[in-house]
């Protein structure tokens, strides 16, 4: 007899929260059906009315400026190509077919700004770097910054790298499969396991075959790091193809959410999300709300949600950067992949998806862990010390002792590592230093040193300290083999 996943697992005060959540989702679903039939003139009227009310009661309209116009152009950019065009970069589009039949759209920036693309099928001869986004994101998050110096792909392209940006199955650029239509629940039947078994290794294999390189450098953000931890741990041969793994805001086994009721609900019964959102894409109506809400109001909603769920204040991200980037923050992901994260939080370990999480109580087996201590690739961790999703001690205990380097970013939260005002000073130098150490071509050392000097980041000039008796920029002694970078005021 099937069981209802949350019956008997929740506290009495949590059942009303479940009921309210279901009502809200039902209400939103009705709106999602109705809004496409509402005349555009009425939606525009509501949009303009909300803008007037916002400026009357919350904030006066800011005077136009070049910076605000640029932020608005970035906000309105429809896709990766439009974002590249704003900053003068050429790009290529590629499609990777995974072994289980999903078609992944990936992007390539092989040349500096203003340079022509190489002929198709020819190698650039440059060292290759592969960037991968986080949960509910796509490749646009790397380049929707209001300054090209703060967009890591552009910085790497200028430094002489062949830059590739991946996309997960199901998101904006990978919503296609040879076997299932996105309207079918089976299309969305994937978790972190599938990213690790297929998306990451198949994308890396395609990139290496296309470029002719023997190995590449991997830079991941948030879930993009979890996918690499998982993939490298279960594919021993993949470690020979990744010369360094740089993990920005790394995610492996987060402690949980800051909202007590939501955290309690999801840890008690991760499968409750299936009841609320179904076995399809999660939060699929986000794009609808973005289209009908005045951007400053939409940004406020995002800020309040991040504060409530994670206690992220986003003080290192400017209001203009939020206006530009929040429009590119969301992309489609499966409910199952989010359920997987809550299973991990519930157990406090980096586990494979448990299909029988509530099939029987008192079971006599344990969910399988990803064997992350088997990772042979050199790993560099860069994390913010105010990032509520990173438990660095648990992460270090789950990784090998001999090939992991840690950099602590003072005053940084999760999204700050992507869009903070000073990432070009606090984050990128460590990334470039790590790439310089592991580049395939010896002449890349000179190229990267030149890039650092041009950006005002002379190697080793950013405020950081190492251990073994040394101190960081604030005079604080660090422990272990950790280094620390202070966020500029």
Task: Please identify every residue annotated as catalytic.
Answer: 222, 387, 414
Residue with tokens 């083999």: 481
Question: Are residues 251 and 330 in contact, defined by beta-carbon separation less than 8 angstroms?
Answer: no
* Cα radius of gyration (the chain): 23
Q: How far is CA 82 from CA 151, 203, 225, 325, in A?
A: 15, 23, 27, 14
User: Count of CB atoms within 10 A of residue 400's CB?
Assistant: 15
385/412 Cα distance (integer angstroms): 6
Residues making up the chain, counted from first to last: 489
477/36 Cα distance (integer angstroms): 58
CA-angle at 222, arms to 380 and 184, nearest 5°: 140
Strand pairing report for 162-165 and 103-109 = antiparallel
Q: For residue 372, give every residue at least 6 positions away whose Cβ sits within 8 Å of its Cβ, in sequence order, or none.
A: 229, 230, 232, 233, 252, 350, 398, 399
Q: Name the token pair of 345.
A: 């939080």
Q: 281: which DSSP letter?
A: B
- Determine the straight-line distance between the first and last CA of the chain, rounded to whole angstroms: 60
Nearest to 139 by CA among 97, 177, 109: 109
Q: Name the token pair of 426.
A: 């606090």
Rounded to 10 degrees, what is the CA torsion of 275, 280, 282, 283?
Answer: -100
Q: Name the token pair of 285.
A: 């109506």
In terms of phi and psi (left: phi > 0; alpha: psi -120 to 50; beta: otherwise), the region of 46 is: alpha
């Amino acid at each position: 007899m099937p069981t209802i996943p949350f019956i008997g697992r929740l506290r009495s005060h949590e059942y009303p929260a479940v009921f309210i959540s279901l009502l809200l989702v039902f209400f939103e679903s009705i709106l999602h059906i109705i809004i496409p039939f509402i005349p555009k003139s009425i939606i525009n009227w509501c949009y303009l009315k909300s803008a007037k009310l916002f400026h009357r009661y919350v904030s006066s309209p800011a005077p136009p400026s070049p910076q605000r116009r640029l932020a608005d152009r970035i906000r309105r950019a429809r896709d990766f190509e439009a974002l590249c065009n704003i900053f003068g970069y050429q790009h290529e589009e590629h499609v990777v077919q995974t072994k289980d039949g999903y078609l992944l759209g990936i992007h390539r920036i092989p040349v500096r700004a203003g340079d022509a693309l190489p002929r198709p099928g020819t190698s650039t001869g440059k060292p290759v770097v592969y960037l991968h986004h986080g949960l509910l994101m796509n490749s646009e998050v790397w380049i929707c910054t209001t300054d090209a110096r703060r967009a890591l792909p552009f910085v790497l392209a200028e430094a002489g790298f062949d830059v590739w940006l991946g996309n997960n199955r199901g998101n904006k650029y990978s919503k296609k499969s040879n076997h299932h239509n996105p309207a079918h629940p089976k299309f969305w039947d994937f978790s972190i396991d599938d990213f690790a078994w297929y998306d990451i290794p198949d994308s890396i294999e395609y990139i290496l075959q296309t470029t002719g390189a023997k190995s590449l450098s991997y830079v991941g953000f948030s879930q993009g790091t979890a996918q690499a931890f998982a993939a490298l741990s279960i594919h021993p041969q993949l470690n020979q193809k990744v010369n360094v793994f740089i993990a920005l805001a790394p995610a492996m086994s987060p402690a949980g959410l800051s909202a007590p009721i939501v955290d309690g609900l999801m840890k008690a019964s991760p499968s409750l999300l299936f009841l609320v959102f179904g076995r399809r894409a999660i939060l699929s109506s986000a794009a609808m709300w973005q289209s009908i809400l005045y951007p400053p109001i939409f940004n406020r909603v995002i800020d309040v949600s991040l504060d409530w769920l994670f206690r992220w204040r986003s003080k290192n991200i400017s209001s203009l950067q939020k206006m530009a980037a929040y429009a590119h923050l969301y992309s489609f992901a499966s409910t199952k992949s989010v359920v997987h994260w809550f299973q991990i939080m519930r157990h406090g370990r980096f586990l494979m998806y448990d299909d029988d999480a509530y099939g029987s109580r008192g079971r006599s087996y344990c969910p399988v862990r990803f064997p992350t201590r088997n990772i042979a690739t050199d790993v560099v961790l860069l994390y913010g010390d105010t990032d509520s999703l990173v438990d660095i001690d648990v992460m270090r205990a789950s990784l090998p002792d001999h090939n992991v380097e840690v950099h602590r970013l003072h005053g940084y939260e999760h999204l700050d590592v992507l869009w903070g005002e000073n990432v070009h000073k606090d984050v990128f130098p460590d990334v470039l230093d790590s790439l310089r150490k592991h580049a395939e071509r010896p002449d890349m050392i000179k190229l990267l040193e030149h890039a650092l000097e041009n950006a005002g980041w002379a190697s080793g000039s950013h405020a950081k300290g190492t251990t073994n008796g040394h101190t960081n920029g604030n005079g604080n002694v660090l422990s272990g083999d950790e280094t620390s970078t202070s966020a500029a005021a």
